[in-house]
């Protein structure tokens, strides 16, 4: 398969391109970026063609998959340029900020031909946590706590930082959306209700959010969720699932194991499976996610990489931004 890459920024250079270069039967055909010099440099590294903004006027492309790795706010022109192209699409997060926008994007391709960039779904820790929730290994899930960020952390790349229209949002849209997607992927709630949401904004970007949310499972059970995502205070930087019999903690950004604290005895132990937590590193996670997406493209069957299956995450982010009672920093 030939992959065309739109965007030569940090996520493409550090994560996508090295993984694509090591996938069997995959070749990087071309790389485009508004910074033509950066596109040229990366293209030489991967023996690919390069384009600048002239990619929007070029008429012939040889590719089977398009990776959209440009910021949220500048993708529209590329969507329209490649609207009729046969290639499958892999769109980095955030896919969309409203449910209507998300559904419109998904309508452009069959479900198996458009993926969203929530790669953490592929990690060993997340797959294990999902199994624990779905199998009710420690009883009924009662509460979820998620913390992300610390004092002084910044969000967005240098080119988009401070520009709400380009970035799409602050810490929630930039990084926190991965945590939200992980929780919803594990729980698969039937409803998401924001009970309280307090935000602090800086130049239109959310830099601190503290929220109480009620999740309702498909079985009708209520799960309380506390969310703190901040550049102003130190957080746990973990996701914690509280069950009747134990609390399960893990991180989606660190190479740490899934930990379990038994509620009765207070004993702490590590939860593992036959895979040993694989994939564990960022490169391994990206590799597994890309491989799953391409398997779906080849087979014609959608899987966990499908953008349409990520709609609840967009709905949750939309609800948080809509409910946020904002304070200007």
Region 88-100: what's the mean pLDDT? Answer: 97
Percent of the chain with pLDDT over 90: 82
- Asked whether residue 112 is domain-assigned, the answer is no
pLDDT attached to residue 179:
98
184 and 244 share one domain: yes
**pTM given for the model:** 0.94
pLDDT per position as a tens digit, 230-265: 999 999 999 999 999 999 999 999 888 899 999 887
Say if residue 177's pLDDT is above 70.
yes
Domain boundary among 92, 110, 131: 92
CATH of the domain at 157: 3.30.360.10
Say if residue 319's pLDDT is above 60.
yes
pLDDT attached to residue 3:
97
pLDDT per position as a tens digit, 20-32: 999 999 999 999 9
47 and 141 share one domain: no
- Asked whether residue 262 is domain-assigned, the answer is yes
245 and 310 share one domain: yes
Domain boundary among 51, 74, 92: 92
- Asked whether residue 234 is domain-assigned, the answer is yes
CATH of the domain at 20: 3.40.50.720
7 and 81 share one domain: yes
pLDDT attached to residue 329:
63
41 and 159 share one domain: no
pLDDT attached to residue 158:
42
151 and 266 share one domain: yes
pLDDT attached to residue 328:
80
Say if residue 151's pLDDT is above 60.
yes
Q: Name which of 4-8, 152-156, 263-267, 320-324 the model is least confident about.
A: 152-156
The tally of domains found in the chain comes to 2
82 and 132 share one domain: no
Q: How far apart, in whole angstroms, are the C-alpha atoms of residue 88 and residue 114? A: 6
pLDDT attached to residue 159:
43
| pLDDT band with cut points at 50, 70 and 90 for residue 130 | very high
- Asked whether residue 36 is domain-assigned, the answer is yes
- Asked whether residue 293 is domain-assigned, the answer is no
- Asked whether residue 110 is domain-assigned, the answer is no
Q: How far apart, in whole angstroms, are the C-alpha atoms of residue 328 and residue 324? A: 12
Show the domain range for 72: 2-92
146 and 81 share one domain: no
154 and 259 share one domain: yes
Q: How far apart, in whole angstroms, are the C-alpha atoms of residue 54 and residue 13? A: 20
65 and 152 share one domain: no
């Amino acid at each position: 398969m030939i992959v065309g890459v739109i965007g030569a920024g940090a996520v493409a250079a550090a994560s996508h391109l090295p993984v694509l270069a090591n996938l069997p039967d995959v070749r990087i055909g071309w790389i485009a970026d508004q910074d033509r010099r950066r596109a040229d440099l990366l293209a030489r590294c991967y023996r690919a063609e390069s384009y600048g903004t002239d990619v929007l006027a070029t008429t012939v492309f040889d590719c089977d998959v398009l990776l959209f790795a440009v910021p949220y706010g500048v993708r529209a022109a590329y969507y329209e340029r490649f609207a009729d192209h046969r290639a499958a699409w892999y769109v980095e997060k955030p896919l969309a900020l409203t449910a209507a926008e998300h559904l419109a994007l998904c309508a452009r391709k069959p479900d198996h031909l458009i993926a969203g960039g929530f790669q953490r779904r592929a990690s060993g820790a997340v797959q294990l946590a999902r199994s624990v929730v779905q199998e009710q290994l420690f009883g009924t899930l009662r509460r979820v706590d998620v913390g992300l960020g610390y004092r002084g952390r910044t969000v967005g790349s240098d080119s988009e930082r401070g520009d709400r229209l380009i970035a799409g949002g602050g810490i929630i849209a930039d990084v926190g959306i991965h945590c939200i997607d992980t929780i919803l992927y594990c729980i698969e709630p039937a409803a998401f209700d924001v009970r309280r949401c307090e935000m602090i904004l800086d130049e239109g970007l959310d830099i601190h959010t503290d929220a109480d949310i009620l999740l309702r499972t498909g079985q009708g059970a209520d799960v309380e969720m506390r969310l703190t995502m901040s550049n102003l205070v130190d957080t746990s930087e973990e996701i914690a699932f509280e069950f009747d019999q134990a609390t399960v903690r893990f991180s989606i950004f660190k190479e740490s194991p899934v930990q379990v604290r038994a509620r009765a005895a207070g004993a702490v132990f590590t939860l593992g499976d036959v895979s040993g937590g694989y994939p564990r590193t960022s490169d391994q996670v990206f590799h597994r996610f890309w491989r799953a997406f391409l398997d779906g493209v080849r087979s014609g069957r959608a899987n966990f990489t499908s953008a349409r299956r990520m709609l609840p995450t967009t709905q949750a982010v939309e609800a948080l931004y809509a409910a946020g009672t904002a304070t200007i920093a």
